[in-house]
Amino acid sequence: MSLRRLATKALTGAATFQRAVSHGPNGLFARSATGAEAASRMLARQAPGGRRFASASTNPDPAKAWSMYYTHENAYLNWVRNGATFTAVGMAFTIFKGQTEHAPVSLGGCVVQSMGACYMVLGATQYVTSSVALRNLMGISPVGWAWISLNASWPTALYLIGLSCFHGLHPRWLLGLIADNSAVLPARLQERIFQLVAEARHKEFEEKSKRRRTGTRTGF
């Protein structure tokens, strides 16, 4: 047998062995991967709640848990920063229109402020839902859940109150609360609070008078 024929047979045999090992559903690597997937599914069934990564969910590494927690917090802060930025830009639009065209409100400014409000609300929602999804990996305790609930609620609540005050929709309970504790406020802020309370009461009086006049005209 010639040397060329021996080399050809050797190369053919090597190619056949490689195909048998690495290709096809019955290959050696395929069978190994199938076995690994079966073992993973078995561990997942044995894990609490039927989840994978049983060791990570039951006993998370403290360093990895804290790293994931801070990453999670930074992602939420990005939502809040974007919301505050777009709201500030929208307020600048409104102030610019008021100074240049004496317009009481800017439509573009309201649109940009709406974008900021969406960022705030969606950010808080994503913050809570992702906390639920990553609760096992981060090892969140009951105190941690209380902290997450607080962080998800107070920025959005204060933001919505501040935005409503910017547009002249001052909550009455807020005015009453500040007026009752106005003694501890600076003098300039006290004057502003009294002015807002007087305007709110005057507006309420006008609305009542208007309803009375309307009722008198209709005979009710």
* pLDDT by 10-residue block (mean), the chain, 220 residues: 58 58 48 49 42 45 86 94 94 86 83 94 95 88 92 93 86 80 77 76 74 65
Q: Tell me the C-alpha distance between 62 and 219, whole Å.
A: 74
Q: Is the dihedral angle over the CA atoms 10, 16, 21, 22 positive or is it negative?
A: positive
pLDDT for the residue numbered 37: 53
pTM of the predicted model as reported, rounded to 2 decimal places: 0.59
Amino acid at 27: G
Q: What is the pLDDT of residue 147?
A: 92
Our CA dihedral for 21, 23, 25, 27, rounded to 10 degrees, sits at 0
Residue 64: per-residue pLDDT: 86
Please give the pLDDT value at position 18: 56
How high is the pLDDT of residue 161? 92
pLDDT at 43: 38
